[in-house]
């Protein structure tokens, strides 16, 4: 009897072990991280993905995951190279088949390369502050999410800020739009032109050839034009060169205002004193005064599980941006679990639904310790952006200081541009847009 | 007219900065007949070494000396581990080796000294000189004038070195024919190590000026892009050619950027700015049609 009972017990034990393994495997929410930490923009990636991973670990340590589901990830290095980005996606997508959080590439080029593939594979692609901006129209782009805000809404918000600074009118003013001569730099032109026409200011467009490490002629022209403001869409070395050349030409930095790719510590520190007084837009604030940032340092680094070797990056603009991206991603997982079952990992398709139904208000941000870290966000089928707000910050020579509250771009002016562009894309690709009134 | 002169002078001064990088290419080419693809990476390594040592507590002067030591050690190591095995190989083999070297430097330098973009303060203010600005309404910065002075001293020193020293003559002999130079007792390895060391010094000077101007970061490797049309125009073997080529390229690209796009826009509509990325190459290629060896390059005649 005992002899018969023993194998049965062993078999039962093995079955239970297998079952529990399967159950614990199902309780892991996987994030495919198509990232970059080396190469020309490696230092940007280190801060962003360091913040992202730190927040995932923070959730695991602080709350034991989302309803018991542990946040896991695997990194793949792209070196900010489109071909490598696609290779990384192909490598990670099989792992993401069971469960997948949003994919963040921090690269417009890689996002463009993945936009069709990710839709086919039913994996949601987050493009926070970059990427294909007409994907705001979720009826055409169900799996692409230019969350928080877009280049065009940002340009519109910058104009609103300048307008408020000038007693509510920019009529008769002259604004130079100095931009990186690439798809990124040209993205905001349509919004700047629409704003110029609406607000009756003169717009002068001046492109800078890549990489932008020499801008003598552009700034000589700016000196000749004598603009009231320079709105600046730079990237990489172009940012420091612009600030230094502005100084050389005696143009006040307080009249320069840049996009969020010109507004990190990496963009201004190398320019030294030339950057003092310069302003830039941002959709997340810097600093450790944000409770969740301070708590991450305490909990995650206190446990020796911090992702960054250089702790000085904690609290920088790009680190906090990585945390902000992770906050939204984890909140999407939480939202998805409310619909698909608490304590269960979400598939890419389920995460897509959650991203489309985010509603993170001030109360929720406060509960997360993220008050003022990022703006409120409410997404829907026809609005994958969900916010459209930025703050303006100013470099005081040592740190970024916010000089405005959250400013929303002119949605009535800008969103129809997205819809028209998305409609055109749908026509070219033979896509039948979803009926957003039927989506819940 | 003032505006025209401002653009022209600004262009000439920018050209000096391009010439500083081009000089490094010329050094290597004169010694080995090889186009050193790694020159831009060497500029990056040199500037990164300087800020790296400053961060470790060294004063600027000591950091520059230590960076020079790094560049010299790098030059000797390049000769010993990369070039020595390639003596008498076709120039394309040496060129390919320098491509590998460029990727190696771009990978290893940030690992050693960090990849964050950093400022480099040389104590020279990059602001307009008030007197010139008030008198003629033209912007010329003190920094640009210092850069021009540095380039002038560097060119004079290198020209004298090549023309009047034994090493300089040996170097030219090696450039003409490795085997012939070896057969008359010129120590090839020695010469190559020296020339790579000198090219490292030129890279250090270029790295200091470019790093102080735009910050020390990976994009310093792109400075090589600005030097290529200078070399095509000035000739790969001429030190004065690098300077004259730099001045022509600098001035013409600035004038082109200002005056050509408005004409194009009138003709075709749209926005035609940002042409200075490719215009110097077109100019250099057109020049090649007339004078294939460049302005000051040596005419190469092969006996049949």
Q: A231-290, pLDDT tens digit by residue?
A: 999 988 899 999 999 999 989 999 999 999 999 999 999 999 999 999 999 999 999 999
Nearest to A145 by CA among A165, A131, A156: A131
Where chain B has pLDDT below 50, the residues are none
DSSP state for residue B117 in the 8-state scheme:
-
Pick the most confident of A21-35, A40-54, A394-408, B257-271.
A394-408
B143–A46: do the CB atoms touch at under 8 Å?
A: no
- Using DSSP bridges, classify how beta strands A256-258 and A229-233 pair: parallel, antiparallel or unpaired: parallel
Give the residues across from A175 on adjacent strands.
A203, A229
Give the 3-state secondary structure of residue B125. coil
CA distances from A190 to A73, A157, A196, A426 (A): 38, 14, 10, 20
Between A1-15, A88-102, A358-372, B208-222, the lowest mean confidence (pLDDT) is in A1-15
Nearest to A106 by CA among A84, A88, A126: A126
A271–B217: do the CB atoms touch at under 8 Å?
A: no
Give the residues across from A390 on adjacent strands.
A407
Listed by number, the residues of chain B in 131-170 with a beta carbon closer than 8 Å to a beta carbon of chain A are: 133, 139, 141, 143
Residue A44 sits at the chain B interface (C-beta within 8 Å): no
Tell me: pLDDT of A22 over 50.
no
Tell me: pLDDT of A75 over 50.
yes
How many Cα atoms are found within 13 Å in the side-chain-facing hemisphere of B37?
16
A222: nearest CA in chain B?
A: B258
Give chain B positions within 8 Å (CB) of A188.
none
DSSP calls for B132-194: HHHHH----BHHHHHHHHHHHHHHHHHHHHHHHSHHHHHHHHHHH-HHHHHHTT--HHHHHHH
B141–A216: do the CB atoms touch at under 8 Å?
A: no
Going by pLDDT thresholds of 50, 70 and 90, the confidence category of residue A115 is: very high
Share of chain A above pLDDT 90, in %: 84
Give the span between the Cα atoms of A231 and A29, in whole angstroms. Answer: 41
**Does residue B22 contact residue B230 with C-beta atoms inside 8 Å?**
yes
Give chain A positions within 8 Å (CB) of B147.
none
Contacts of residue B66, defined as CB under 8 A and 6 or more positions apart, other chains included, come to B49, B53, B58
pLDDT of residue A2: 46
Which carries the bigger pLDDT value, residue A368 or residue B175? A368
Give chain B positions within 8 Å (CB) of A235.
none
B13: nearest CA in chain A?
A: A216
Where are any strands of DSSP class E within A156-265? 174-180, 202-208, 229-233, 256-258
B211: nearest CA in chain A?
A: A270
Contacts of residue B303, defined as CB under 8 A and 6 or more positions apart, other chains included, come to none
Give chain A positions within 8 Å (CB) of B11.
216-217
B219–A236: do the CB atoms touch at under 8 Å?
A: yes
pLDDT of residue A440: 66
Residue B105 sits at the chain A interface (C-beta within 8 Å): no
DSSP state for residue A148 in the 8-state scheme:
S
Q: Which helix (H) or strand (E) holds A75?
A: strand A70-77
Residue A276 sits at the chain B interface (C-beta within 8 Å): no
Tell me: pLDDT of A179 over 90.
yes
pLDDT of residue A20: 44
Give the span between the Cα atoms of B203 and A215, in whole angstroms. Answer: 22
Residue A220 sits at the chain B interface (C-beta within 8 Å): yes
> Token digits for B223?
């400075």
**Does residue A48 contact residue A36 with C-beta atoms inside 8 Å?**
no
Which carries the bigger pLDDT value, residue A11 or residue B90? B90
Give the span between the Cα atoms of A70 and A56, in whole angstroms. Answer: 9
Give the 3-state secondary structure of residue B296. coil
Give chain B positions within 8 Å (CB) of A318.
none
**Does residue B110 contact residue A38 with C-beta atoms inside 8 Å?**
yes
Residue A328 sits at the chain B interface (C-beta within 8 Å): no
pLDDT of residue A275: 96
- Using DSSP bridges, classify how beta strands A256-258 and A202-208 pair: parallel, antiparallel or unpaired: unpaired
* Helices B239-268 and B2-32, packing angle to 10 deg: 130
Tell me: pLDDT of A414 over 70.
yes
Tell me the shortest Cα–Cα distance from B298 to chain A, in angstroms: 30
A210, A217, A269 member nearest B257 (Cβ): A217
DSSP calls for B58-105: --HHHHHHHHHHHHHHHHHHHIIIIIGGGTTS-HHHHHHHHHHHHHHH
Give chain B positions within 8 Å (CB) of A216.
10-11, 13-14, 254
pLDDT of residue B48: 95
B218–A266: do the CB atoms touch at under 8 Å?
A: no
- Using DSSP bridges, classify how beta strands A229-233 and A174-180 pair: parallel, antiparallel or unpaired: parallel
Residue B275 sits at the chain A interface (C-beta within 8 Å): yes
B215: nearest CA in chain A?
A: A270
Tell me: pLDDT of A6 over 70.
no
Tell me: pLDDT of A3 over 60.
no
Give the span between the Cα atoms of B210 and A376, in whole angstroms. Answer: 43
pLDDT of residue A408: 97
Residue A183 sits at the chain B interface (C-beta within 8 Å): no
Residue B252 sits at the chain A interface (C-beta within 8 Å): no
- pLDDT (tens digit per residue) in A187-235: 899 999 999 999 999 999 999 988 888 898 999 999 999 999 999 999 8
Our measurement of the distance from residue A243's CA atom to the centroid of its chain's CA atoms, rounded to an integer in Å, reads: 24
Residue B189 sits at the chain A interface (C-beta within 8 Å): no
Give the span between the Cα atoms of A383 and A153, in whole angstroms. Answer: 13
Give the 3-state secondary structure of residue A227. coil
Which carries the bigger pLDDT value, residue A76 or residue B271? A76
Give chain A positions within 8 Å (CB) of B14.
214, 216
Give chain A positions within 8 Å (CB) of B213.
241, 244
- pLDDT (tens digit per residue) in A309-342: 889 999 999 999 999 999 999 999 999 999 999 9
pLDDT of residue A24: 47
Give the span between the Cα atoms of B154 and B239, in whole angstroms. Answer: 10
Listed by number, the residues of chain B in 3-32 with a beta carbon closer than 8 Å to a beta carbon of chain A are: 3, 6-7, 10-11, 13-14, 17
Tell me the shortest Cα–Cα distance from A353 to chain B, in angstroms: 38
Angle made by CA atoms B6, A179, B279, in degrees to the nearest 5: 55
């Amino acid at each position: 009897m005992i002899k018969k009972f023993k194998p049965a017990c062993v078999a039962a034990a093995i079955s239970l072990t297998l079952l529990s393994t399967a159950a614990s495997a199902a309780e892991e929410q996987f994030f495919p991280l198509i990232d970059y930490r080396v190469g020309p923009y490696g230092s940007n990636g280190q801060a962003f993905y360091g913040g992202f991973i730190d927040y995932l670990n923070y959730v695991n340590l602080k709350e034991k995951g989302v309803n018991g589901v542990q946040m896991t990830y695997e990194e793949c290095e792209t070196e900010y190279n489109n071909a490598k980005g696609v290779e990384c996606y192909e490598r990670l997508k099989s792992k993401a088949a069971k469960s997948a959080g949003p994919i963040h590439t921090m690269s417009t080029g890689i996002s463009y390369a993945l936009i069709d593939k990710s839709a086919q594979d039913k994996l949601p692609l987050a493009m926070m502050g970059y990427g294909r901006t007409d994907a705001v129209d979720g009826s055409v782009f169900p799996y692409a999410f230019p969350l928080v805000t877009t280049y065009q809404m940002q340009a519109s918000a910058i104009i609103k800020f300048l307008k408020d600074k000038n007693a509510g009118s920019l009529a008769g003013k002259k604004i130079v739009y100095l931009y990186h001569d690439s798809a990124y730099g040209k993205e905001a032109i349509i919004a700047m032109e629409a704003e110029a026409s609406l607000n009756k200011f003169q717009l002068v467009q001046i492109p800078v050839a890549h990489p932008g490490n020499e801008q003598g002629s552009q700034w000589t022209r700016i000196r000749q034009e004598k603009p009231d403001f320079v709105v600046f869409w730079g990237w990489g070395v172009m940012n420091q060169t612009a600030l230094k050349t502005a100084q050389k030409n005696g143009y006040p930095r307080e009249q320069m205002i840049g996009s969020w790719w010109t507004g990190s510590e990496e963009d201004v520190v190398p320019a030294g004193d030339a950057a003092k007084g310069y302003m830039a837009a941002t959709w997340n604030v810097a600093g450790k005064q944000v409770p969740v940032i301070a708590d991450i340092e305490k909990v995650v680094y206190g446990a020796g599980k911090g992702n960054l070797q250089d702790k000085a990056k904690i609290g920088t603009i790009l680190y906090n941006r990585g945390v902000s991206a992770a906050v939204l991603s984890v909140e999407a997982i939480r939202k998805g679990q409310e619909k698909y079952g608490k304590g269960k990992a979400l598939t890419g398709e389920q995460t897509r639904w959650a991203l489309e139904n985010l509603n993170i208000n001030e109360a929720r941000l406060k509960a997360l310790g993220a008050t003022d870290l990022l703006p409120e966000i409410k997404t829907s089928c026809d609005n994958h952006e969900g916010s459209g707000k930025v703050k303006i910050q100013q470099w005081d020579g040592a740190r970024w200081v916010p000089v405005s509250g959250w400013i929303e771009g002119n949605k009535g002016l800008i969103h129809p541009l997205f819809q028209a562009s998305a409609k055109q894309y749908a026509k070219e690709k033979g896509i039948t847009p979803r009926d957003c009134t039927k989506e819940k | 007219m003032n505006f025209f002169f401002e653009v022209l002078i600004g262009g000439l001064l920018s050209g000096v900065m391009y010439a500083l990088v081009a000089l490094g290419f010329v050094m290597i080419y004169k010694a080995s007949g090889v186009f050193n693809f790694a020159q831009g990476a060497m500029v990056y390594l040199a500037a990164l070494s300087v800020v790296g040592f400053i961060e470790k507590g060294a004063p600027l002067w000591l950091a520059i000396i230590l960076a020079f030591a790094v560049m010299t050690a790098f030059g000797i190591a390049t000769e010993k581990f990369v070039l020595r095995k390639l003596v008498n190989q076709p120039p394309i083999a040496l060129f390919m080796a320098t491509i590998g070297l460029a990727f190696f430097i771009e990978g290893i330098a940030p690992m050693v000294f960090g990849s964050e973009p950093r400022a480099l303060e040389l104590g020279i203010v990059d602001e307009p000189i008030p007197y010139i600005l008030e008198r003629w309404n033209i912007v010329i910065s003190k920094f640009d004038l210092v850069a021009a002075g540095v380039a002038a001293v560097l060119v004079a020193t290198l020209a004298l070195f090549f023309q009047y020293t034994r090493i300089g003559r040996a170097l030219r002999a090696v450039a003409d024919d490795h085997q012939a130079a070896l057969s008359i007792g010129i120590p090839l390895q020695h010469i190559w190590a020296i020339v790579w060391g000198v090219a490292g010094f030129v890279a250090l000077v270029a790295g200091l000026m470019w790093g102080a101007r735009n910050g020390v970061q990976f994009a310093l490797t792109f400075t090589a892009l600005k030097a290529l049309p200078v070399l095509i125009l000035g000739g790969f073997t001429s030190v004065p050619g690098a300077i004259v080529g730099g001045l022509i390229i600098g001035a013409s690209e600035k004038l082109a950027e200002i005056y050509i796009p408005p004409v194009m826009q009138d003709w075709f509509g749209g926005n035609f700015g940002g042409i200075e990325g490719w215009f110097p190459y077109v100019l250099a290629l057109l020049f090649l049609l007339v004078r294939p060896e460049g302005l000051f390059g040596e005419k190469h005649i092969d006996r049949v």
